[in-house]
């Protein structure tokens, strides 16, 4: 079977949500998923989409996905591509599908004039870290992610 990678369409929202829940289960973060089909429709396919998604499909069924958006590098004065999530169902891992999705995004980034592609990886996820390094990715140990969410974000906005 050959993996077909295609851009997600609004009718794929239930499959995207299913894959998001699969990713959350893998990362032991199911309790943090508040995404819904309605929120995905608005944020991915609404008037001003916040991100894009691609699906990796076998015989028409999604077995993996990637969600990404553009960011910007002031030092390079050009856009970049930020990979928010990459996931392949456990039964299909080791088949090259994750690599195919990542390389698809790398080609897309180059086509769109991006000079870099970035993503985050959990520090305990050694299989993913090894996979990313095998593709030439630099795991930047000297950078830390900062995040405001929930009440902290609302408090900062009011200050």
Instruction: Report if residue 147 sits inside a domain.
Output: no
Summarize pLDDT for 120-130 with one digit per residue, the tens. 999 999 999 99
Mean pLDDT by 10 residues, the chain (159 residues): 95 98 96 97 98 97 98 96 97 95 97 96 92 94 91 96
Is the pTM higher than 0.85?
yes
Summarize pLDDT for 14-49 with one digit per residue, the tens. 999 999 999 999 999 999 999 999 999 999 999 999
- Range of the structural domain that residue 62 is part of: 4-119
Instruction: Report if residue 134 sits inside a domain.
Output: no
Strand 4-7, strand 117-119: pairing: unpaired
Instruction: Report if residue 10 sits inside a domain.
Output: yes
Catalytic positions: 132
Strand ranges of the sheet holding 52-58, from the earlier edge strand across to the other edge = 4-7, 52-58, 61-73, 78-88, 117-119
Query: How many structural domains are present in the chain?
Result: 1
CATH number at residue 30: 3.40.630.30
Instruction: Report if residue 137 sits inside a domain.
Output: no
- pLDDT (0 to 100) of residue 26: 94
Instruction: Report if residue 61 sits inside a domain.
Output: yes
Helix 13-26 crosses helix 37-45 at what angle (to 10 degrees)? 110
Instruction: Report if residue 126 sits inside a domain.
Output: no
């Amino acid at each position: 079977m050959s993996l077909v990678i295609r851009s997600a369409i609004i009718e794929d929202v239930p499959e995207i949500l299913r894959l998001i829940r699969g990713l959350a289960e893998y990362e032991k973060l199911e309790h943090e998923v508040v995404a819904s089909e309605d929120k995905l429709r608005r944020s991915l396919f609404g008037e001003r989409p916040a991100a894009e998604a691609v699906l990796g499909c076998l015989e028409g069924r999604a077995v993996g996905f990637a969600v990404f958006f553009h960011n910007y590098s002031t030092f390079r004065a050009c856009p970049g591509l930020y990979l928010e999530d990459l996931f392949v169902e456990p039964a299909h891992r080791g088949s090259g599908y994750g690599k195919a999705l990542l390389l698809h995004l790398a080609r897309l980034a180059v086509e769109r004039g991006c000079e870099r592609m970035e993503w985050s990886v959990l520090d305990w996820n050694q299989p993913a870290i090894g996979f990313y390094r095998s593709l030439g990715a630099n795991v930047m140990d000297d950078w830390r992610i900062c995040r405001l969410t929930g009440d902290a974000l609302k408090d900062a906005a009011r200050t």
